[in-house]
Chain A
Amino acid sequence: MDMKTATKKLSLKDKYKLFTRDLGWEPTYRSKEEVFPYVQYEGIKIHDWDKWEDPFRLTMDAYWKYQAEKERKFYAIIDAHAQNNGHLNITDARYLSALKVFLQAISPGEYAAHKGFARVGREFPGVGTQVACQMQAIDEIRHAQTQIHALSNYNKFYNGFHAFAEQRDRIWYTSVARSFFDDAMAAGPFEFMIAIGFSFEYVLTNLLFVPFMSGAAYNGDMATVTFGFSAQSDEARHMTLGLECIKFMLEQDPDNLPIVQAWIDKWFWRGIRVLSLVSTMMDYMLPKRVMSWREAWNIYGIENGTALFKDLARYGIRPPKHWDKAEEAIDHMSHQLMLGLYQWKFGTSFHVWIPSDEDMDWLAKKYPTTFDKYYRPRWEHIKKHEAATGAPFNNYGLPKLCQCCQLPTIFTEPGDPTLICHRESVYQGERYHFCSDGCKDVFDNEPEKYVQAWLPMPGLMQDPLKGDLGAWMDWVFLKDGKDNGDYATSQDRQNFEQWRAQATSNQ
């Protein structure tokens, strides 16, 4: 019998050193500037890349082991969900609208984040940074995949899931998220880290994932809960990477402060606009609601955000510009956007509906200063109008879009919820419109970047569609009468109710 030789186990610290820092080397026949050409031009000054600390000290071998374990659990549950007709356990088929919006607007963002982190992992010179970015790049593609796989079960039974990838690029309400990620990916590596690593992962991710995953649990969707859990442990690492990165920049050189502050201002506002979609999911689309968008903001926006910016104050960072305007808008944005989605429902690849009296009472309780005063009268009028005309209320007037966030300009003036906010800039003789001061600021700081925006509504009037709505539906893979319109008369509702009745009764 062979004697086993005792192998000396490496300490975590030694292992981290060998698996990260020791993988790097000093270039000899090319200059550092040639090898890493993208780290200078944004104006961020870094003097010592070794000061980068990864508090997780996670090495690749351990990373693969953890991720593989999570994948096994995830796919076991997804299989069980499929085999047991898990789709019939959801509260009712209205819930699917939240899933469709998520799949069309957010999951492709995970994939975009994957591409972005793979790129900045190459562009940053520090080895610790490179390894952390590489892991996040793999996390992000895994998140996109697990989300798509989890929701593919629903695609077998329901409309509106089938063309999320094309709709991400072409349909109008997803362009707020698409433009957010395109903007980040077209930025330099440091700005990308503030956009995705800090603003999205640290400041905003809880507002997206926690309420959404709780919403899935409340509404009986085990598949989505499972991908939420599978992603959650990664998110903690991502948040740390984002925060480490911002502190690293601020500690390396005082000249970095104004650049970092401007990026925080910009990406906070861009993030708020992306979250307006989430606000409608929370307040309107979940049949069984977890908390209102306002309540989520109080916890994850105000409480967490205030603590964070207090912590960053020692570096000279102040809370994002327009924070006060965001705070005021929280009580309005879900209602303003949902009224828009309802009237343009011929062009959505998900279903909408007029809130029931019970739902409106819930909204009035959650928004005591705004819902009854500003928004209930509009829903009631739409209800009356539909009863009088016998037809769904559709607004075939295509909306003006914001050149920055690309949403219809539905948001109101600060201080006056009865008046649309009109803002415009002229750049090189061309006129551009915005939904808010926040979006106008982003444009005015870098007009050359945003003049290139492809906006879905003016796009519809140009080649190849030239204003043909039917041709547009084909082009965005929207099946009229199936994917779009009111939930009340939808095939999704009819099928769900029939299948559920078969599963729960003897009919």
Chain B
Amino acid sequence: MTVAARKEYVGIPRDRVENFHGKQLVFVSWDHHLLLAAPIMFCLPPQASFAELIESHLQPLLQADPDAAALDWNKVEWLKEGQPWVPDFAASLAANGIGHKEQLRMRTPGLSSLVPVN
């Protein structure tokens, strides 16, 4: 459907990648881990490596979770666009095919200290 309007109606998106000065947004969340209440937004250059996203930006934030110490990064199951996906830690976000405003989800079966997973 389109917007009911009296003349042509054109909306300008506010969050296009060119508004972020060479960076992009990427969101990461950890399934069944709700201590951090929402997926986290990161703003990084597409040339940043996936390892940098995880080690320098995500990991410090996850420390408060009681499962953080038991997290084995080699065993994390990743979802990208809701589909199973395997990242290359050494490659850049761009080379990993992680676009602007991409949502990545981590799954760690067996780890769920704070929520009762059915």
Closest A residue by C-beta to B30: A420
Residues of A within 8 A of B110 (CB): none
Proximity bits, A403-437, B CB within 8 Å = 1, else 0: 00000111010001111101010000011110000
Cβ-based interface call for B55 (8 A) = no
Interface 0/1 of A25-66, CB less than 8 Å to B? 000000000000110011100000000000000000000000
Q: Are B35 and A381 in contact (CB under 8 A)?
A: yes
Are B2 and A459 within 8 A (Cβ)?
no
Contact B35 A378 (CB under 8 A): yes
Contact call A448/B32, Cβ cutoff below 8 A: no
Of B1, B11, B32, B102, chain A has the most CB atoms within 10 Å of the CB of B11
Question: CA A67 – CA B12 in complex, angstroms?
Answer: 43
User: Considering residues B5, B25, B37, B40, which has the most beta carbons from chain A within 10 angstroms of its beta carbon?
Assistant: B37
B71 CB, min distance to chain A CBs, angstroms: 16
A410 x B37 contact (CB < 8 A): yes
For the residues of A in contact with B, the DSSP-based class is mixed
Is B27 an interface residue, CB under 8 A from the partner?
Answer: yes
Q: Is the CB of B15 within 8 A of A42?
A: no
Q: Specify which chain B residues have a CB less than 8 angstroms from the CB of A431 in the assembled complex.
A: 99-102
What CA separation (Å) do A431 and B24 show in the bound complex? Answer: 12
Q: Chain A contacts of B9 at CB under 8 A?
A: 448-449
Known: A374-B115, A396-B61, A448-B3. A453 touches B14 (CB 8 A): yes
With most chain B CB atoms within 10 A of its CB, the pick from A381, A410, A449, A458 is A458
Contacts of A382 in B (CB 8 A): 35
Q: Is the CB of B2 within 8 A of A397?
A: no
Kindly list chain B residues whose C-beta atoms are within 8 Å of the C-beta of A393: 64
Partner of B112, one of A418, A420, A452, A453: A418
Instruction: Assess the B41–A457 pair: CB atoms within 8 A.
Output: yes
On whether the beta carbons of B11 and A451 are closer than 8 Å, the reply is yes
**Tally of A interface residues using CB under 8 Å:** 59
Which chain B residues (7-33) contact chain A, with CB distance < 8 Å? Answer: 9-16, 19-21, 23, 25, 27, 29, 31-32
Interface residues of B (CB under 8 A from A): 1-6, 9-16, 19-21, 23, 25, 27, 29, 31-32, 34-41, 43, 61, 64, 66, 82, 99-103, 105, 112, 114-118
Can you report 6 residue pairs joining A to B where beta carbons are below 8 Å apart? A42-B4, A343-B37, A397-B41, A418-B32, A422-B82, A432-B101
Given contacts A339-B37, A395-B37, 16 further A-B contacts (CB under 8 A): A37-B6, A340-B38, A343-B36, A377-B114, A377-B115, A381-B35, A398-B41, A412-B34, A418-B112, A418-B118, A420-B29, A431-B102, A444-B1, A451-B12, A453-B14, A457-B41
Name A's B-contacting residues (CB within 8 A): 37-38, 41-43, 188, 336, 339-340, 343, 373-374, 377-378, 381-382, 385, 393, 395-400, 408-410, 412, 416-420, 422, 424, 430-433, 444-455, 457-459, 461-463, 466-467
